[in-house]
Amino acid sequence: MLNNKAILITGGTGSFGKKCTEVILIEAIKTNIFLRANLTKQS
């Protein structure tokens, strides 16, 4: 179902985001997780 799809999960470090990411990692081949904290540290 998720083959060759790009999925954006905002809030990936929250409780819902973590569980959602776990489920997607089971089916996904490539995963990128962006954290807002990393972006604010670069400023």
Greatest extent of the chain over all pairs of C-alpha atoms, in Å:
38
Q: Give the whole-angstrom CA distance, residue 11 versus residue 36.
A: 9
Q: What is the mean pLDDT of residues 17-41?
A: 68
Give the pLDDT band of residue 42 (cuts 50, 70, 90).
Answer: very low
Q: In this structure, are residues 38 and 16 in contact, taking their beta carbons and an 8 Å threshold?
A: no
Q: In this structure, are residues 31 and 25 in contact, taking their beta carbons and an 8 Å threshold?
A: yes
What is the reported pTM?
0.42
Q: Give the whole-angstrom CA distance, residue 30 versus residue 15.
A: 21
Domain spans of the chain, in order of start: 1-43
pLDDT in tens, 6-21: 777 776 667 877 787 7
CA distances for 7 relative to 39, 40, 41, 42, angstroms: 19, 22, 24, 24
